Amino acid sequence: MAEFECRLKKYRQMKDLTQEQLAEKVGVRRETIMRLEKAQYNPSLKLAIDISRAVEAPIEEIFVFK
Amino acid sequence: MKTNKKKIWIGCGILCVLSVLLSSWYAVAYNDSRLVVPMDFKDYVFDIKDLPMIVSLSLICVYLVALFVMLFIHAGKKQRQEVETGVTRKINPKLGCLGVLGFLGFAGFWTYPVDGTVFPFAFFLFFGFFGFYYEGKTSGTFMDERFRENIARAKLKAYRITFGVMLAALIILCQGKLFGNLEYTLIAAIIILSLALGLGIFLSEYLLFRYDHDDQAEEGGE
């Protein structure tokens, strides 16, 4: 199985967003953002795209499958 | 529901109960307790004095039917609202106390030897109401995609456990050798099915709470 790595924290901090703000922007709970940053949750395509738009970074840079 | 509407419904209920009490008193005092004490309806002949009792009983039946229909519509509205807002329904965790009703199931051990009634055993199902406690704890939560996944995960696990328990119990009971008596076997089946269904109701809420709560417990804030 491919190893999942999430670089969301880096991109979020680059945009000066808190987890709460990002969660609100993409319409999820803060806990979901936390899980994502720990690479413990595999997001849906829609959520991945929403996050990518929110932090203005390419989706393949944020979510990496090795 | 608006407070005014609630008051009207409660008022109608009180009126219906009062009318039954009054007509019962009238039947006992002036109508030889007809329609109050158990009677054989094969030989029943209508008497004008029966009218108060018939009217009050009809009233309470209409009220109960209307109440059920209203509750059904209200539940449907709430469910639609839940889908639209994406927030779990609001429930008081104290409603979990209704699970105590499950102990009514033990009444079956009393009614069965007395008159062979077995339906009270089905009350064990009410143990599932303990799940309201956990539903109350997660009530008003915004249902994002991970929460919805957790709901599906919890339900799936609860159903698997429930059906596993039911299947195992039925296989054992269907051997017919456990009690050596078909009636006892069927009673055991009723008890186990009721308990298993109660477990299913409880587990789906409990597991959802655990999945959501465990996630929150191990996470730090920022």
pLDDT by position in tens, chain A (length 66): 678 888 899 999 999 999 999 999 999 999 899 989 988 888 999 999 999 999 999 999 998 887
Answer whether residue B85 shows pLDDT above 70. yes
d(C-alpha B10, C-alpha B18), whole Å: 12
Answer whether residue B105 shows pLDDT above 90. yes
The pLDDT value recorded for residue B180 is: 75
Model's pTM, two decimal places? 0.72
Segment B93-120 mean pLDDT = 91
Contact B145 A29 (CB under 8 A): no
Segment B35-48 mean pLDDT = 80
For the record, the structure tokens of A46 come out as 């829609």
Residue B217: band (very low, low, confident or very high) from pLDDT cuts 50, 70, 90:
low
d(C-alpha A54, C-alpha A26), whole Å: 7
Q: How far apart are the first and last CA of chain A?
A: 9
State ipTM. 0.84
Nearest CB among B142, B215, B221 relative to A35 is that of B215
The pLDDT value recorded for residue B220 is: 52
What phi and psi, each to the nearest 5 degrees, are found at residue A18? -85, 165
* A43: nearest Cα among B87, B138, B148: B148
Contact A28 B145 (CB under 8 A): yes
What phi and psi, each to the nearest 5 degrees, are found at residue A4? -100, 125
Answer whether residue B179 shows pLDDT above 80. no
Considering only residues 6 to 25 of chain A, which have any Cβ-Cβ distance to chain B shorter than 8 Å? 18-20
More confident call, B81 vs B218: B81
Helix (H) or strand (E) holding A24: helix A19-26
In chain A, the domains with their CATH numbers are 4-65 (1.10.260.40)
* Chain B closest-CA separation from residue A53 CA (Å): 18
- Interfacial residues of B (vs A; Cβ cutoff 8 Å): 141-142, 144-147, 212, 215-216, 219-222
